[in-house]
């Protein structure tokens, strides 16, 4: 008797799951103007309101389409802010990370590592949390480490004040800001490597205002029942600090 009841419930449960999945739609996620509104991927949702706040990552080569594996360790983070048009979710840049294995390779044995964490304010008033890491070829004395740390903080604060948020972010993710830091501290000590290992944008970057709608926007498509994965993670599942 129990087996018959169980068998009767399975088809009903399968129909419920299938119907629920068919009510969902795919939405394309588009990067902000800072990244020329390139497509970041797709995500699925039943209601438009469910998209806002979702986060996703893309490496720098994936975003630029350059195929430059030398920048594959740079991961950019985006958060969906709104949906404009049919099936287009607008995302804004919220920060970046370097992969953990890349950071570990920087600081090998007998090398001195300097970690920083500070908040800078750009020329247009956007605050950005920066976490640089600097590596010396050999172990450094405590006093020298303090002098290098103070100099790097000074340079980063000045560079941010001289540049708008889009300019500052471009320099940061392309590595130009690291070069400025290396040049600025070389009179104290020629550091082996300086990287901005993590950033977090606290405000709205001016170039992230959504651009004009594309001329041809596709209707949100209904995903097939056997597919049950999206390329965008729910909010709160982003990379850990």
Q: What is the pLDDT at residue 225?
A: 42
Q: What is the pLDDT at residue 7?
A: 55
2-208: CATH superfamily: Band 7 domain (3.30.479.30)
Q: What is the pLDDT at residue 165?
A: 94
Q: What is the pLDDT at residue 241?
A: 38
From 234, 226, 217, 212, select the one nearest 27 (Cα to Cα).
217
- At residue 65, the 3 state secondary structure works out as coil
Q: What is the pLDDT at residue 130?
A: 97
CB of 151 closer than 8 Å to CB of 189: no
Mean pLDDT by 10 residues, the chain (241 residues): 54 54 77 90 80 89 73 92 84 94 79 91 96 88 93 97 95 94 93 93 73 39 41 40 38
Residue 164, judged by CB atoms within 10 A of its CB (0-12, 13-18, 19+), counts as: middle
Cα separation, 169 vs 96, whole angstroms: 10
Read off the DSSP letter of residue 235: T
- At residue 137, the 3 state secondary structure works out as coil
């Amino acid at each position: 008797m129990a087996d018959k009841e169980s068998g009767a419930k399975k088809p009903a449960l399968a129909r419920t799951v299938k119907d629920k999945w068919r009510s969902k739609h795919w939405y394309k996620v588009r990067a902000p103007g800072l990244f020329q509104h390139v497509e970041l991927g797709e995500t699925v949702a039943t209601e438009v309101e469910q998209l806002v706040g979702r986060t996703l990552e893309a490496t720098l080569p994936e975003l630029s389409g350059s195929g430059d594996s030398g920048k594959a360790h740079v991961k950019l983070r985006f958060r969906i802010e709104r949906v404009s048009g049919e099936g287009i979710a607008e995302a804004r840049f919220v920060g970046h990370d370097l992969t953990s294995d890349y950071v570990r390779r920087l600081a090998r044995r007998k090398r001195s590592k300097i970690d920083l964490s500070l908040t800078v304010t750009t020329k247009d008033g956007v605050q950005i949390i920066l976490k640089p890491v600097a590596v010396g070829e050999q172990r450094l004395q405590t006093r020298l480490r303090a002098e290098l740390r103070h100099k790097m903080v000074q340079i980063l604060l000045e560079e941010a004040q001289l540049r708008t948020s889009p300019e500052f972010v471009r320099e940061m993710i392309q590595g130009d800001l690291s070069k400025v830091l290396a040049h600025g501290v070389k009179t104290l000590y020629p550091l082996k490597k300086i990287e901005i290992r993590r950033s977090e944008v606290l405000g709205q970057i001016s170039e992230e205002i959504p651009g004009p709608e594309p001329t041809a926007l596709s209707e949100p498509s209904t995903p097939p029942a056997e597919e049950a994965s999206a390329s965008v993670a729910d909010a709160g599942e982003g990379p850990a600090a």
